[in-house]
Amino acid sequence: MNAAERLDLLDALPHRPPMLLIDRIVSVSPFEHASAEKDVTLDDPWFKGHFPGQPIFPGVLILEAMAQTACVLAAHSTRSDTGPRLPYLVGVDHARFRRLVQPGDRLDLSVRSLRAWGPFWRLSARAEVNGELAAEATLTATLAPAPTTFPVAAAPRHAPTATPTMPALLGAHDE
């Protein structure tokens, strides 16, 4: 990955290692779809315990990588004048794991927007290895104002004045 690609990835996601589960943004069509890649290596920290002698990329981390790909789509689809936003995964439906993912595999991740309403997104997500389906799910996510103390919130021109409450995160009107 070159420096510009790395900066684009870090600008699109609030995640940092070891929870940054995308290595490259492959393509983005705002409001429609995004694709990304994750190179699965034996150096990934979870393989020390999942499972010694038979390393398998945890299914929950495949879901997280798909959710991070959804974050990339959201980051490229929202207006910059709304202030810093943080993505939150609020639902996972119909998750299915079809194939083991192991060191040496490249996880090809894709998300497609099914519906957007207010700050919420409903997305179809897929993870493949060599064209073979590894996992799929329907994700629901939202974007909420970032707390002013969050590191990503330091750089933008306009930061929110307070940390959002859970009802605000879930779409209820502020008091």
Active site members: 50
Classify strands 33-39 and 85-97 as parallel, antiparallel or unpaired.
unpaired
Residues, the chain, total? 175
Cis omega (within 30 of 0) for bond into 167:
no
Question: Nearest 5°: CA angle at 2, between 111 and 18?
Answer: 60
Strand partners of residue 34? 28, 111
Closest C-alpha among 19, 170, 118, 59 to residue 10: 19
